[in-house]
Chain A
Amino acid sequence: MIRVQEEDFDLGAELAKLTAGNMKVGGLAVFVGLVRDMAGDQAIGAMTLEHYPGMTEKMLARIEAEAKERWPLEASLIIHRVGRLEPGDQIVLVAAASAHRQAAFDACQFLIDWLKTKAPFWKLEESGEGAQWVDARDSDTAATKRWATPKKGTAE
């Protein structure tokens, strides 16, 4: 399941729903991204997440479908927030549940790696020196590369 929303999410409730009643789940791997109060050596007051409505949902759905094709998942979830967020706020949740832990871990890492390079979100950080668009990180592109050749249509 995928969701793009301004509201915060209840991490415990989301994870409980994800595996509830499914006795085939042996492992649940989860990643939560949070807003830090520092970016490099600069203090951050808040950030605004812009996205491309329509394409965002399309890409997230495709990333999730790709994960389900690659690993035997019992359940998966991507929630990404948009709008204004402050330090300590939750930005993103990705979760993958499988019979075995390695599949859950790998799928979870894949989901966030692909999301970070393919889903059309942009961060605008507010610091003492004004607002600044965050630059994409080479390490994110490198992280995505480990999942080998993307298929047509999901390529950046």
Chain B
Amino acid sequence: MSSADIYREIILDYYRNPRNFGKLENPDIVKRDSNPLCGDELEMHINIKDNKVADVKYTGKGCAISQASASLLTEMMMGKDFDEVKKLSKEDILENLGLTELGPTRLKCALLSLKVLKYGIYSYLIEKLKDTSSADKIKKEASGLF
């Protein structure tokens, strides 16, 4: 897709006015990752209460696509129950950002936040919930994102 299609209001708005930017004080989930190809960085903080996402924040630096996607993802998660969050997919994000047919390199920008989220859930399942079976599924999904 052309730049004119990619850099529409929605991406620029999320890039310049990031929602949920920052850190949580006592997060249940903290996950950080970076894209080795370009150096984009992202750290996500999540609080889970009553099996729901009670709060979520992120910090990071990177291109408009990666930051907008992180920002939007936090919005999409907020208040969702844990099972719904587990199911958030690549397609959900891309659709909400209005992105189709990104080249492979830019696709990685768009999916870094989802990768961080999936690995965050994975750690949470393993460490807090001692749930290895569905954790493995999530891990596989996460590693398939890049």
A pairs with B: no
Interface residues in chain A, defined as those with a beta carbon under 8 Å from any beta carbon in chain B = none
